[in-house]
Amino acid sequence: MKAAQSVSSSSLVAEVKEPCSLPMLSVDMENKENGSVGVKNSMENGRPPDPADWAVMDVVNYFRTAGFEEQASAFQEQEIDGKSLLLMTRNDVLTGLQLKLGPALKIYEYHVKPLQTKHLKNSSS
């Protein structure tokens, strides 16, 4: 897939991103309008399947792979490992990481929350 595709002979250019593969999740970018992603099991990128076992750099690389290159460094600066990530509240992500509101909302709603939910389901079974 091309990184950019010319829409017309004018200078209008639309970006086309390939779906990224995440360590425990694969991203379905069909619903890019609201930033939502589909969650599916997979083991990739050499990270442990359980986020509770992720080191700080696993968390950083997870968010880089998910398309949050600029925001990923905040997890490193705050030393957020997998266990810390699973304990984060919405408020922690929106204010504690000092991120812009838009990306912070997407990070929490479409990544942190699903990881927490999946972890709870796996630990209770």
Model confidence pLDDT, tens digit, residues 39-71: 444 555 678 999 999 999 999 999 999 999 999
Residue 122 or 89, more confident = 89
Contacts of 28 (CB under 8 A, 6+ apart): 19, 37, 38, 40
CATH number, position 66 = 1.10.150.50
Q: How many domains does the chain have?
A: 1
User: Please, what sign has the CA dihedral across residues 84, 86, 92, 97?
Assistant: positive
pLDDT-based confidence at residue 6 (cuts at 50, 70, 90): very low
- Given this model, what pLDDT does residue 124 score? 85
Residue 53 or 19, more confident = 53
Cα 2–chain centre separation: 22
Domain that holds residue 54: 4-124
- What backbone phi and psi angles, to 5 degrees, belong to 25? -125, 150
Contacts of 87 (CB under 8 A, 6+ apart): none
Inter-residue contact 63 to 51 (CB < 8 Å): no
Paired tokens of 99: 């991120």
Alpha carbon distance, N-terminus to C-terminus of the chain? 40
